[in-house]
Every structure is written in structure tokens, then in C-alpha cells.
Structure 1
Amino acid sequence: MNCQESNKNSLQAEIFETSAKGNKLTMITDFKKVDGLVTIKLIPENTYQTITGFGGAFTESSAYLLKKLSKNNRDTILKAYFGKDGARYSLTRTHMNSCDFSLTNYSYTPIEGDKNLEHFSIKEDMDDLIPMIKDALAISEDGFKIFASPWTAAPWMKDNNHWVGGKLLPEYYDTWALFFSKYLDAYKSEGIDIWGFTVENEPHGNGNNWESMHFSPKEMTDFVQFHLGPKLETDGFGDKIILGYDQNRAGLKEWVDEMYRDEASSKYFDGTAIHWYESTYDYFPEALQYAHQKAPDKYLIETEGCIDAEVPVWKDDAWYWKKEATDWGWDWASEEEKYLHPKYAPVNRYARDIIGCLNNWVDGWVDWNMVLDKQGGPNWFKNWCIAPVIVDPESDEVYFTPLYYTMAHFSKYIRPEAKIIGLENSDEKLMATAAQNPDGTHVVILFNEFETPKSVNIVLNDKNLEITIDAQAIQTIVIPQPVKE
């Protein structure tokens, strides 16, 4: 516990900090006051969304790399993500068929014209992806949810007969719905229970670069309402979660309007999936608010985000706090959209986006690859990105970047079924969010991206706690459930 002078009006808490100065989820007990005082007043009676979880994605690239490491380093990484002393990831994603972070293009349905999927097989996942998931499940004491996303159907089901782009041919809509059911059975036979699906990763496509399959809002909604939803019901999988859309937030309005167009379509959509690539600086609060108001009882989950279009910087923590990183839009966005893609520190992108999402009804936030190599792959398209954990399999070295600790500030301390609660913040430059966990603990997460520290007064139920957050730092404050007098 934080050893402050105890009196009946003081809050006790544990405070953990990650900072540009070198703290890595470090417990802080001594605070130096600075000029000015920010007041964060918690309002626990104002409750918002229920948290589904935080986590990352199981990809073939990550699983392949883990196999190349020593058992000790493999275990170290998986325990860091899933162990009781680690980040305790609770919500995860994986891909169905290949994706850009696969070693090559592959499908579970390689036989052309196999409409009944008699040759369906997940053998491509047996060497690396499934063992990684199984090992994570064995390590996790609390367990975690897994949802799966397809990037594309096999080329023979599509109008362009290609891995990239094109649309699902109407005569294969029922076959594609069967694909999801077959996948559930196949993974269940391996002891892996899939919680749900996103219908299609990035239905607008990805610039015709890697695996993709296009849907309009109406086409996806029709597929779910008339094919996928009924098929899962018929096959005994009616309890599986279906998340629609699964792309950038700027397009949310037209998608949720169509997905929830009436009761008949809404019954099959359990929620909406979103990515951050429209801008890793602007978190689009208006779009998030609109999506929630359109379907207030449905999930709203960030299903993918990463530092893209960058080769990882190896063992240089300072870089992750500097505003030097660019994203795809730095080079490729239209001139009128360049402002959405500034140079911005990787840690800032994660912390800012997650807090912004939590303060606008998002109930889950899932990172992309858990592990990549020093090049930002392996990746068959050479679409290099950064993961929270970078490895060098040749020298059997592991680098936990500051992004790992940033994710852990949320995933470790805000647990599934927590409620986001209200707060009043006297300083708009200090980002803050708060939650109440099922065990009664209150959690406050602060992000100070600026060059000067700030003194902060946390107020809860007429009790208070004065602390200081360092310059360029993230803090998690854990306030235990009060002892009943």
C-alpha cells in the first residue's frame, strides 16, 4: 500500500507508473509536489459500459517466432501476457485462413468447388498458431475470450478468383456461413473455445495490398441476417458473438445504421468492431458516441491497432516516447486528411487512444501482433509493423518495449465485467479514465504526455489522495474496496 500519513479522510492506494524516465509499471510510493494541483473526482454512482477485456492477437507470425525461441524465452513472453503476474490479457483475436501476418497465403478450404466443405482442415494452424493459443490458455488463471476474423475466403469463392480484393460470389454465401461453423467445430476439437467472430476484417479493403474481401454495409448485413446468423443457430452456435464492420471509426455511422436497420438484422449482430487506422491521433469521439447510441446494449470493441508502417526500434525505450513515429497516412493519406496522421510518439498513441475509447463507450481494446521480429515481421507482404514484444530469434533475445507496459496498465488492472465510472477532471490536458472492478476496487488511469509533472488530488467519497504523475508518464492508481466499519 502507498505509505502516506493515514487519517480517516485519506485514500489508500497502490500507484504504478510507466514513464519516459524509465519506470516500467513500477510501484511509486514517494511523491514530490509540483506547482498547481489537478483534481480528479470520481463519481462511482455514474456508471457506463461494462468492460469485455483488453489484449492482443494470436497471429501465425507471432506463433512462428515463439517456436524459434528457447523454451525459457517463449514461456517468459506468454507469462508476461497471460500470467497472474503479467498483463493478464482477457480478450484476444486470431485470424481464419491467412492474413498479412502469415508466412504465405493459405486457406482451410483449398479444394475448388467444395461447396459442402468436405475437405475443410485447420492443418495450417497445427504447427504454430494452435500450440501458442493452447500454451496461453494453460498459463492464464482467469482464462480469456478469443474471437476470430477472416481476411478473405479462398479465391475460388470470389468474383476475382484472387486472395486480394474482390467480393464473395452469391452462390457461396451459404458455403461461407458453413465455413464459420466448421471452424468452431475444428477448434473445439483442439480444446479451444471460440467466443465469437468479426464477419470480415476491413471490408473496405486495404488498398489491394494483402488478403481482403469487400462487403458494403448492406452486403455484410444481408450475409449475417440471412446466412451466417441462421447457420450458427441451426448448428447449435447461437450463443457465439457476431461483431460487424471491423474497420476504421470514420465509417461507423453508415455501418451501424445498416447493421441495426431493424429488429430482424439487429438480432444477429452482438456488436460493432472498429480499428484505429483512420487516425492514430484522433479517436473520433463523435463516431463512437453515435455507434453507442444506435445500439446501446451491444458491444463496441476496438479489434485492431498497432504502430504500422514502421520497422521496430530495438532496445531503445526513449524512441517509443518521442514524436518521431509515422503511420501509413504520413506518406499515403490525401492532402486534406494529412492532419489525421501527424508524427506522434508510439506510447502516446496507445495511451491516448485507449483512454479516449474508454471515455466514449468502447468496452474492449485489442492490440495487433503480440510478438514480431526486429524487421517488423515475418510478413509475406513486407507490411512491417511494431508489436509490444520484439524478438531476435537468431540470438534468442527478447525486448519488452514500452508499449507492452502501456497495454498492461489497462489489461492488468481493469478486469472483465468492470464498469467505467464517471469522473470530473480539472485539467483537460491530463487524460484520465476510471473503472470499478467486480471485486470493488476502483482503478484510475492517468496519462500525462507533456514535459512537466503534475500534482493530482484523487477524490472518492469525500476521501482524497494526493500524488504526482511524472512528465511523459502513465499511472494506474488502484484503490482497494473500503473496509466496512
Structure 2
Amino acid sequence: MKGKRFETNQRKGYELKEMADFEFISEDRQQEMQVINVYPEVKYQKMIGFGGAFTEAAGYTLSKMSENNQAKIISSYFGENGIGYTFCRNHINSCDFALGNYAYVEDPADTEFSTFDISRDRQYIIPMIKKAQEVSKETIKFLASPWSPPPFMKTTGKMNNGGKLKDEFKMQWAKYIARYIKEYRKEGIDTFALTVQNEPNAVQVWDSCTYTTEEEMTFVRDYLGPVLEAEGLSDVKIIIWDHNKERVYERARDIFSDAKAKDFIWGVGMHWYTGDHFDAVKITSEVYPDKPIIFTEGCVERGMKVDPIINAEIYAHDMLGNFNNGTAAHIDWNLILDEKGGPNHVENYCAAPIMCETNEDKVNIMLTYYYIGHFSKFIKPGSVRIGTSSYSENLEVSGYQTPEGNRVLVVLNRSEKDLDFHIRENGKLLKQTIDARSMITLVYGE
């Protein structure tokens, strides 16, 4: 077996650098120490894809850059030499990473949605999406998520600071979501999947709306699922939860206890803001193997960490743990942000893998971009996670088999020591070394 090694090591200036080719040798003696085992016959979940969010903030920031830099940014994610993004997120109505609150219908009396208008999205979001579609050789899948219904549909009468969907507007809200999907399809943007509500357990100072487990279950069962079917949109997949991992299993368990609701639901979404909880992810994937788990959002808050290596390792550690416990896709938060980590209409600033200095027309590709790329550039949609084991907790590893039959092995070293290891696969052996605080991807086959 032969292959290629790709490495990111900030201390050496390597950024997904292609290193020397390698070739396995026969395992003439039984290697016992410093081993990473690979078992391609042991297969787990099929991977759906990787991506980020086309927020209004991202689109607005892109519009402030020169045409050359706009092309550079889009190509970095979606182009032939980019990191292979094919599964991205959109927001229905505004979110915190918008220039302000907005909805597609503002008139409470407009029950037929005659004033439904996505022209706000045509300013920044849709142009950015179309630029991505133009350069991508793959069809980009889109996940749509609402942060809040229009103010008149809510108990609080405003989009920010939580509140609930009024009972008398549940059917209208389901139809509103269906209308969004249809309007976007007219733009050539096909919604692959839909989450019921972004972070339904949180009252945020920005656009937010809370649902109990019972409320989310009944909304899917009695309104959203039936409306999508009636509107000819049953191909759009419904994802529940879309919030943190510590409750991912119990939310799925309690909603799936209703057979009718379960039939409408395709998968479970989750965020990372309350810690690893990899065991909760594993339990969910094992109990409900037919319901894909999708990582729908994660970011490092602006100023939370200052060491770019730590920021990048946060991503890689979480991705490795999620994938090794059954997660089938990873969608990062904002694709790009400005120098402040915005714009954000409540100043909830965050970092993104690509940060732009809009006043200087400067593009800063962060270390997190390359760490994400160690997965997304090589683990193509349709790849299957395969069995692996590692001799040390300092070597975090995950393995995949691509649709072409090649193996992809992603290895992270968060320790301060260089570490040797031997890959063992079906009587073949390969010795490698991974530098301290670095990441590698090995791609190989017959």
C-alpha cells in the first residue's frame, strides 16, 4: 500500500503541506508497541459532508472585500483546491450574525403571506451562496435553521430574548418555513434539511425561541411534518434539537417515543458549547442508528482563546470525538467574519476560520481552517468511518474509507512531545512520527 501525508504544524509553517510519499512494508515481526490499528472491515456511519454557515454577517463581510479576495475566500472553501465544503447552513429570518432583526413577513394580518419577501437575503446571503455554487464541482447541500419566528407570532412580541411560538400561529409558522424553502428553490438553492429551531433550550439576548421537548415533538408531528408533505416538500429532511450535546440523547429519546413524530424526523442536530459529551453522542448513535447525527454549529467566541493552536485543537478534538462516536457531518458556524468577529447585532462576536480586515482588504486564513481541512478535504461525502485503535490518549485518531476504496487516517497530537507510531493494517506496517502540537492526514490505498 502506498500513500501521501499532509501536515499542519504552525511552528514549522506547514499548512496542509503535502509531505513525502510513503509505502507500507510487510509486518515480518509482530509490532506491539506504539501501534495505531486500522480495521477497514469494521464499518460505522456514512459521512454526509462538511461546511459552514452562510450568515448575513458572512455575506456582508464578503461584499466589503475586493473581487480578487472574494474569489480567494470562496475558492478556499469550495474551489478545486479548497477544503471541500459541500454541506452548509442558512438562517431563516435573522440570527445574531445579521445586521439587525428581520423577518420575511412583518404584517400580522398577512395570513396568506402575500408580502413574503426574501429581498433582504438577496443583498448579501444569496450572492455569496451563488458564488460558492459557481466554483464548486459538487452539489452543495443546505441546512436551514430558524432562530425566531416573526415578532407577531411570539408570546413576547419580539424576536430577541426568547419567548415561545403562539399556539394559534403554529400552522402559519410551518407554512412560513415551507414558503422559505420554495422561495430559495426559485433562487436555485435547494434545502436538503431543516432544523426545527436553533438552540430551543436557550433564552438568548439575540433572536431566539424556546421549545420544550413536548412542544418540539408536537410541532413536528402535527404541523411541520404534515405541512411539508402537503406542500410537496417531503424530501426536505427534519432535524430535531440543534442544541448542545449534554442533552442530545434524552431529547432524541423523548421525542422519538412518539412513533408518528419519529417517522417525520430524519436526524438529530447538536452544538458543542457545553463540553465533549462524546458518550452522549455514542449512546444516541447506537440507540438510533437510523437517525444521522449532524454537528450543526460550533465556534470559538472572540477573545475566549488567544493561542491559535489551542483554538485549532478545540476544533480537531471535538471533530475526532464526535466522528468516532457516530456523527455523520460537521457544519461550522460563520464562514467568514470581519476584524471584530462580526458584524453581530448584539455584539456577540466570534472567530471564524477566515477573518477579514475589511478596511485593509486583507484575508487572514486562521489555523482552524487548516485543521478542519484535514478532515473536509479528504473525507468525501459517502466515505465510511472504519475501526481504529490508538496506543496513547495523546494520539487522537479517526479512520475512513472513501467511495474509491482509499483509506484516510486523521491524527492529532495535542502534547508537547513528538510521537512515533506504527500503522498496522492487514499484515502491513508503516512507521510515522507526528510532531508536537500538530496534525496530519494520511491518505493511502493499494
Aligned to 1:15: 5
Match of 1:195 among 172, 192, 197: 192
Letter in 2 for 1:476: T
1:302 aligns with 2:286: no
Match of 2:16 among 18, 21, 25: 25
Match of 2:346 among 366, 381, 389: 381
Aligned to 1:402: 367
Whether the aligned pair in 2 keeps the contact of 1:376 and 1:385 (CA below 8 Å) is yes
Alignment of 1:32-431 (within 5 A): 38-164=34-160, 165-206=162-203, 208-279=204-275, 283-310=276-303, 319-321=307-309, 345-431=310-396
1:450 aligns with 2:438: no
| Alpha-carbon distance between aligned partners in 1 of 2:440 and 2:86, rounded to the nearest angstrom | 20
Cα distance, 1:114 vs. partner?
A: 2.1
Letter in 1 for 2:348: N
Q: Secondary structure at the match of 2:389?
A: strand
Q: Normalised by the size of structure 1, how large is the TM-score?
A: 0.88
| Alpha-carbon distance between aligned partners in 2 of 1:241 and 1:417, rounded to the nearest angstrom | 18
Whether the aligned pair in 2 keeps the contact of 1:148 and 1:197 (CA below 8 Å) is yes
Question: Which digits, 9 at most, give the CA deviation of each residue in 1:399-421, with x for residues without a partner?
Answer: 00001101111111001111100
Letter in 1 for 2:103: S
Letter in 2 for 1:278: T
| Alpha-carbon distance between aligned partners in 2 of 1:189 and 1:294, rounded to the nearest angstrom | 38
Whether the aligned pair in 1 keeps the contact of 2:3 and 2:21 (CA below 8 Å) is no
Cα distance, 1:312 vs. partner?
A: 8.8
Match of 1:477 among 418, 433, 442: 442
Q: Secondary structure at the match of 1:13?
A: strand
Q: Secondary structure at the match of 1:73?
A: helix
Q: Secondary structure at the match of 1:110?
A: coil
| Alpha-carbon distance between aligned partners in 2 of 1:258 and 1:121, rounded to the nearest angstrom | 36
Q: Normalised by the size of structure 2, how large is the TM-score?
A: 0.95
Question: Which digits, 9 at most, give the CA deviation of each residue in 1:27-72, with x for residues without a partner?
Answer: 12289xxxx9621111011100110111111110010011111110
| Corresponding pairs, count | 435
| Alpha-carbon distance between aligned partners in 2 of 1:105 and 1:38, rounded to the nearest angstrom | 54
Whether the aligned pair in 2 keeps the contact of 1:57 and 1:370 (CA below 8 Å) is yes
Write 1 or 2 for the structure with the bigger share of strand. Answer: 2
| Alpha-carbon distance between aligned partners in 2 of 1:27 and 1:467, rounded to the nearest angstrom | 15
Instruction: Indicate the percent of aligned positions where both proteins have the same amino acid.
Output: 37
Whether the aligned pair in 1 keeps the contact of 2:246 and 2:280 (CA below 8 Å) is yes
Range with bigger deviation, 419-428 or 150-159: 419-428
Cα distance, 1:108 vs. partner?
A: 0.7
Letter in 2 for 1:54: F
Give me the CA root mean square deviation: 1.5
Cα distance, 1:113 vs. partner?
A: 2.9
Cα distance, 1:255 vs. partner?
A: 0.7
Counterparts in 2 of 1:150 and 1:309: CA distance versus 1, 3 Å? same
Aligned to 2:28: none
Cα distance, 1:192 vs. partner?
A: 1.0
Letter in 2 for 1:28: M
Whether the aligned pair in 2 keeps the contact of 1:351 and 1:447 (CA below 8 Å) is yes
Letter in 1 for 2:6: F
| Alpha-carbon distance between aligned partners in 2 of 1:124 and 1:175, rounded to the nearest angstrom | 21
Q: Tell me, which stretches of 5 or more residues in structure 1 are unaligned?
A: 1-10, 314-318, 322-344
Q: Tell me, which stretches of 5 or more residues in structure 2 are unaligned?
A: 23-31
| Alpha-carbon distance between aligned partners in 1 of 2:216 and 2:21, rounded to the nearest angstrom | 54
Aligned to 1:437: 402
Question: Which digits, 9 at most, give the CA deviation of each residue in 1:246-293, with x for residues without a partner?
Answer: 0001112331112211321111110100000012xxx21221122113
Letter in 1 for 2:81: D
Whether the aligned pair in 2 keeps the contact of 1:432 and 1:445 (CA below 8 Å) is yes
Whether the aligned pair in 2 keeps the contact of 1:312 and 1:376 (CA below 8 Å) is no
Whether the aligned pair in 1 keeps the contact of 2:34 and 2:391 (CA below 8 Å) is yes
Whether the aligned pair in 2 keeps the contact of 1:456 and 1:467 (CA below 8 Å) is yes
Letter in 2 for 1:349: I
| Alpha-carbon distance between aligned partners in 2 of 1:371 and 1:442, rounded to the nearest angstrom | 31
Whether the aligned pair in 1 keeps the contact of 2:302 and 2:341 (CA below 8 Å) is no
Range with bigger deviation, 99-108 or 36-45: 36-45
Letter in 1 for 2:361: D
Whether the aligned pair in 2 keeps the contact of 1:37 and 1:454 (CA below 8 Å) is no
Whether the aligned pair in 1 keeps the contact of 2:8 and 2:371 (CA below 8 Å) is yes
Whether the aligned pair in 1 keeps the contact of 2:244 and 2:273 (CA below 8 Å) is yes
Cα distance, 1:23 vs. partner?
A: 1.1
| Alpha-carbon distance between aligned partners in 1 of 2:33 and 2:302, rounded to the nearest angstrom | 39
Q: Secondary structure at the match of 2:371?
A: helix
| Alpha-carbon distance between aligned partners in 2 of 1:289 and 1:263, rounded to the nearest angstrom | 22
